[in-house]
Structure 1
């Protein structure tokens, strides 16, 4: 610790001249592993050798690289916030870097605390080897898992030996007080792990307690006084207590879970989260859901149905695209894009909405139910919010009223609606101590904030006021009765209202916060740079979480954009023309109110043919409004199918329709024959490689479509031997944007390619 102070002295002199509070690195000291005590942390690229490149749907490498955990220190919003923190309280950034770049912190590169000394390995954020070194904080002589015989016999002694080397063992997980073992063995939750490297069994890695390490955050510069207020500690000294609940709360995501119904042996039923599990109980169950697959690409690796998906998905859909642009050679753009889709899925399942109408009193009651294991929203409070948008329309579709309007051009939210958020600020005494330019009340100067001004975020199942008071996360300036994990908002509507539409939006950061980072930064350009990125990337456009429309009267008939298929017929005939042909016709009759011209022919024929074949498929719209697909084959003794499960509507939506087959025994879609498809690099600039690994020799078609469903070109159409085949696609002349590759083999696959040329 003294060595750190010597290194810090140089920058403290430079910063203290503009600092609000003259803190030092001692004010932000936290126990646990200290710099130089955790050995070498290996670069994630080394982990990728075994844990990547074989199945992007389940492999750890690809999914972790698409997470914000892997981008924690690259995040320019974090960098801009870090600059303000160091400016307000010198060296406070050390605590931030501790969680966002643990490799840098553990190797003494968190000084200076602006992150300028961090190296390439540190930039990998919360990385593999760091997490798999973690040890549960436990006092010497205490076995944290006394009933687990395997841990007791295999790992307990090693953990105790390392704990004995620490000056102070943290009293609990939280606030970045991690314990990262110095040995090279990788700790994980499976006792039957087979690996080329050393392993240690660790039940800790299945516990939410591990997530608390960086998701239960307090400000150690403020301690709780007997009157319940939070007062500054003496300058130049560590906090008198490292108990999280004795310090000012910044975020309490883990503690909110701890006091929820999810923290129970049975957990809570969830159809949306959990993967292969029906009930979820831990942080990992939702944010590292169980999947079926292999954890590595080596022989002998067990297939698991409880493989944790290493995606750590939250709700950030805004930042991954910016990071991909800022660090094109250091990040996996395709992984980040997939991560955005996962985050969007999480948001769309985090809440449910119900709209009830009181037609007598002209009132609409909108109920939002929290479907997560923590507050909604949770986490870092600066600029993060959820709000209700409620609009009313007359019978002609004209807008009558709107609450919670968001202007996408200006990023201004009209605050005449329910906004779920936490607001923190400074007390009068702290504002006076900070000096000119600082005012008491609501504030984005989070390192100086010591008062919670508002917190109306929706609590999770199992909420009680007493328990949430105990974890420093009670409702503030709002009321939730015990047991309530939903909120009801009432809106008035005009008498001539015909339709009411309610929407729930999420935004990871607000215009007000971005402007604060720009305007208050006087030490570097991080705030200005973040503002420019925000402005050029849609100004963090909100994500739609839920939507419901109710009609006051009879709802209108479905419009032409709604898809349905109500009849499929099969007409097989044999033509006697030269060579002979089998003809299979599938007729799709669409609903009366639909326009058949909106359909794009998209059927295919495939099968197990007895010899050289010539087969084709065509689709037309006949005069009666039917879409008819006809397939032909030369071979009369073939087992073959006409697959119309990929009929495409004008918005490029695939219609779920069955396949019609000539032979009942044919292996239909969803059989055990699965082909592996890779497209790289993705995004692409001038060329893209399409790699297909076929499990059986077969006909193969590869087609490219633009985002609007227009066919760009057929890249391949022919018979292909089993094994790996590669095709290079020249994309140099194509406009940038999103393209879809339709790959027809024994199983139809659609994959997305992004061109950024």
Structure 2
């Protein structure tokens, strides 16, 4: 006997339905309570109305469950998780289609990816002996069914037993041979494909070596006899086109071009790279099903219910969600393509994985990408990722089959070498869920190795030479000899920096990053960039409240692009983007801490600024071009006149002054003396990232756990600067004028700088995107830097220590996090014991809170928490507040922002 699930009463179920969503309410009545509305189920009625010949067959009646709902549901009593066919209908219903129109629209899809269209499975009773078969079921998902005997289904999963074993006959008409196809053009491919069973699909392949190897260039086409084929940058004088036809009986047949033709080499580019130079392992184009549109599918259950915890709102405001739209990124790709043709393929893999695996990155200039591709790093991608290293007893068992089914499994997670489940099966860390879609529990979503896929990036054109830091070009228009990222030039090493840090080894107590983790320990990328919160993961009634729900904010440090995105895409949610920017500001305020110490140099006051890296990677990290951080120090005399400044930045021009004392943290890749004469470009730091083969300078602050040997091994050592093993801070001394009495010190971060924006404008000879980016940069404040840490200090030069050499200092740091909600921390230090007051005021000067009011406070550092409440214990409203520390030595004041 198959146990049947008890059905809820109509009254109890209706109480739990969401009242503000008419569509979801109607859908839940049908899907959750099928036994109550079976007689008038509009889905069943519409399905058998379209396919009357299937009425009364196994698609409706089975020995273990008569009158079942298994065409759409894994639960044959109805409700719960929908199978791939049911999901394809759900997507269209969410988009506004009627039930009948949705059923018609999916007719020629292959919902369960078993090689047969839904139409064939449901209607073709001539070619097969076991049809109709279930359009949403196959052997690999049979284990998901309930309330039915699986033995009843086994004969009806995939069409079989057909007498047709004759493959289609295919004749390629064009290209006929002798043609010359320029790359980056569209050329006609014409064919004739015939078969008694009819043609189910057409796939097109290109060979540049006379048929020894093939690359798929189009897939799942109708048998129209013609296709406008985009010509990728795969030159060859012995090129062939192959048209592969699959008939409705599953028999494949192919035909090739009558004779060879030529795919020309691309004209232009500083170096003659081709698409072959950037081919790498992993799921290849056309090897996986298309990704779902999150704005049509995922939002239905994971959005519009709690902006503080839900996945959709936070993802939408993140740079992951905007990775493909990012105008700075797209302008970079245009210039990169001009310098090294087809290098954009390396970028599209990670910025639009759906477009890449869908085959629309053949145009590496981004011209083939569709609207869903511009959703960037989206839900269906991350939640279908497969660990490329199968772990017995940990990885889902199906992963062995998936990895065996791809042509080139990756050896390590890097360079966008991802593997995705070819079926629409989402994965995540919880085992106690019952979503409407197919689901597998997988810990890979919690692993930093998932993040490594796109946060360790190398240029495969340059291979490691005979000495550390030396890279050579082995050959062009050729696939690399191996896929080891350590044998390629490092573009980004954020993941590797983490892997060689204390965070990866043991974890670090950093409660400011840890969210709701009770122990305050952080270790993986997700711990900080998707911190734990308390909430529900979906808007479906009964979804459990979790205290370890990963917030899908994916927050980094980009504060510039969220401001300019609406200029390019007015339809975007500005509220979500600005919320993402505010989260980035908070993240930056937590990423570094500052300490000031005072000591004289040759009788003059001097300040030592210590910056401590609180992150799990270098500070700053990530894409090198344009990013920088620096110290701005201002000294004032007794009358508050400015007498010294280092690291001055002009907001009106975007110019950072490189004075003799300036400390600027950045990495400067560039073109080596070896490569310079070959390219005809100067041997110096360069913004042409696909041409850079060396690093001239890197003084970015390493993370906890740093050793020079380990960071040399991961290709991210300091260059032109020195850090001792174990050092995760940097000290900078400033010798000040004799008249200096007070200093203001700010550690600034800037997402991109003026020189890089101008480079992208001036080096773009393809379109106007560089100029449009420049105009947006000007209109939005020239990418103004943001403060990561700030401190003020009073220099008491009259009161010196007994050794006669150390002037005393009163210091007040910028609160952190800032902006904050609901609490923040304020640090200050006293040069000597004495009375001290720390108070909060609003912008009108009214006293809000007395935090410290001591007649004799000890000398040294003090760490004070403000909970966002006034002296009466009431929560204060959002806004700007001033905090002031007063002592006998003087007073210092700073501002902070509370965002409720």
TM-score band (shorter)? 0.7 to 0.9
Contact 2:566-2:574 within 8 A present in 1 as well: yes
Which residue of the other structure, out of 420, 425, 431, is the alignment partner of 2:665?
Answer: 420
- Tell me: CA distance 1:596–1:75, structure 2 relative to 1, closer, same or farther (3 Å): closer
- Tell me: CA distance 1:446–1:556, structure 2 relative to 1, closer, same or farther (3 Å): closer
* 2:462 aligned with 1:217: no
1:327: Cα distance to partner?
1.1
- Tell me: CA distance 1:183–1:600, structure 2 relative to 1, closer, same or farther (3 Å): same
- Tell me: CA distance 1:362–1:221, structure 2 relative to 1, closer, same or farther (3 Å): same
State the SS of the aligned residue for 1:17.
Answer: coil
Residue of structure 2 equivalent to 1:307:
549
Larger RCO: Structure 1 or Structure 2 (Cα < 8 Å, ≥ 6 residues apart)?
1
Which residue of the other structure, out of 579, 594, 608, is the alignment partner of 1:353?
Answer: 594
Residue of structure 2 equivalent to 1:541:
784
* 2:637 aligned with 1:387: no
Contact 1:67-1:339 within 8 A present in 2 as well: yes
Q: In the TM superposition, what whole-angstrom CA distance separates every residue of 1:85-138 from its partner, at most 9, and x where no partner exists?
A: 100111110111111011111111112111111101001000000111101112
CA distance in 2 between partners of 1:521 and 1:597 (Å)? 46
1:324: Cα distance to partner?
2.2
CA distance in 2 between partners of 1:226 and 1:379 (Å)? 26
Residue of structure 2 equivalent to 1:598:
844
Which residue of the other structure, out of 121, 125, 133, is the alignment partner of 2:376?
Answer: 125
Q: In the TM superposition, what whole-angstrom CA distance separates every residue of 1:443-488 from its partner, at most 9, and x where no partner exists?
A: 0010000001100000000000000000000000000000000000
Length, aligned pairs only: 574
Range with greater deviation from structure 2 (207-216 or 108-117)? 108-117
1:398: Cα distance to partner?
0.2
User: RMSD in angstroms over aligned alpha carbons?
Assistant: 2.9
CA distance in 2 between partners of 1:302 and 1:192 (Å)? 9
State the SS of the aligned residue for 2:453.
Answer: helix
CA distance in 1 between partners of 2:591 and 2:472 (Å)? 36
Residue of structure 2 equivalent to 1:585:
none
Residue of structure 2 equivalent to 1:104:
355
Contact 1:393-1:399 within 8 A present in 2 as well: yes
CA distance in 2 between partners of 1:356 and 1:592 (Å)? 21
Contact 2:462-2:474 within 8 A present in 1 as well: yes
Contact 1:275-1:290 within 8 A present in 2 as well: yes
State the SS of the aligned residue for 2:726.
Answer: coil
CA distance in 2 between partners of 1:264 and 1:597 (Å)? 46
State the SS of the aligned residue for 2:437.
Answer: coil
1:546: Cα distance to partner?
0.7
Runs (5+) with no aligned partner, structure 2:
1-213, 219-228, 236-262, 797-807, 813-836, 849-866, 882-896
1:595: Cα distance to partner?
10
Contact 2:216-2:285 within 8 A present in 1 as well: no
Contact 2:604-2:738 within 8 A present in 1 as well: no
* 2:280 aligned with 1:18: no
CA distance in 1 between partners of 2:810 and 2:353 (Å)? 57
CA distance in 2 between partners of 1:594 and 1:412 (Å)? 35
- Tell me: CA distance 1:174–1:594, structure 2 relative to 1, closer, same or farther (3 Å): closer
| Deviation beyond 3 Å, 4+ runs, structure 1 | 3-16, 554-558, 591-602, 705-709
Q: In the TM superposition, what whole-angstrom CA distance separates every residue of 1:578-619 from its partner, at most 9, and x where no partner exists?
A: xxxxxxxxxxxxx999999936899xxxxxxxxxxxxxxxxx
Runs (5+) with no aligned partner, structure 1:
559-590, 603-652, 661-668, 671-704, 710-739, 741-748, 752-757
Residue of structure 2 equivalent to 1:3:
216
Residue of structure 2 equivalent to 1:230:
471
Contact 2:321-2:376 within 8 A present in 1 as well: yes
Contact 1:194-1:300 within 8 A present in 2 as well: no
Contact 2:616-2:704 within 8 A present in 1 as well: yes
CA distance in 1 between partners of 2:264 and 2:870 (Å)? 65
1:708: Cα distance to partner?
9.7
Contact 1:11-1:112 within 8 A present in 2 as well: no
Residue of structure 2 equivalent to 1:289:
531
* 2:753 aligned with 1:510: yes
CA distance in 1 between partners of 2:324 and 2:873 (Å)? 49
Residue of structure 2 equivalent to 1:731:
none
Which residue of the other structure, out of 49, 52, 72, is the alignment partner of 2:323?
Answer: 72
Residue of structure 2 equivalent to 1:34:
284
- Tell me: CA distance 1:166–1:552, structure 2 relative to 1, closer, same or farther (3 Å): same
CA distance in 2 between partners of 1:594 and 1:276 (Å)? 27
Contact 1:15-1:87 within 8 A present in 2 as well: no
- Tell me: CA distance 1:210–1:495, structure 2 relative to 1, closer, same or farther (3 Å): same
Residue of structure 2 equivalent to 1:616:
none
Residue of structure 2 equivalent to 1:656:
870
- Tell me: CA distance 1:299–1:133, structure 2 relative to 1, closer, same or farther (3 Å): same
State the SS of the aligned residue for 2:704.
Answer: coil
* 2:312 aligned with 1:61: yes
- Tell me: CA distance 1:191–1:400, structure 2 relative to 1, closer, same or farther (3 Å): same
Q: In the TM superposition, what whole-angstrom CA distance separates every residue of 1:732-752 from its partner, at most 9, and x where no partner exists?
A: xxxxxxxx9xxxxxxxx987x
1:233: Cα distance to partner?
2.8
1:503: Cα distance to partner?
0.8
- Tell me: CA distance 1:355–1:11, structure 2 relative to 1, closer, same or farther (3 Å): same
Residue of structure 1 equivalent to 2:493:
252
CA distance in 2 between partners of 1:38 and 1:315 (Å)? 32
Contact 2:234-2:276 within 8 A present in 1 as well: no
Show the 5 A alignment for 1:310-325. Answer: 310-325=552-567
Residue of structure 1 equivalent to 2:336:
85
State the SS of the aligned residue for 1:98.
Answer: helix
Residue of structure 2 equivalent to 1:193:
433
Q: In the TM superposition, what whole-angstrom CA distance separates every residue of 1:195-222 from its partner, at most 9, and x where no partner exists?
A: 1111111111101010000000000111
State the SS of the aligned residue for 2:580.
Answer: helix
State the SS of the aligned residue for 1:428.
Answer: coil
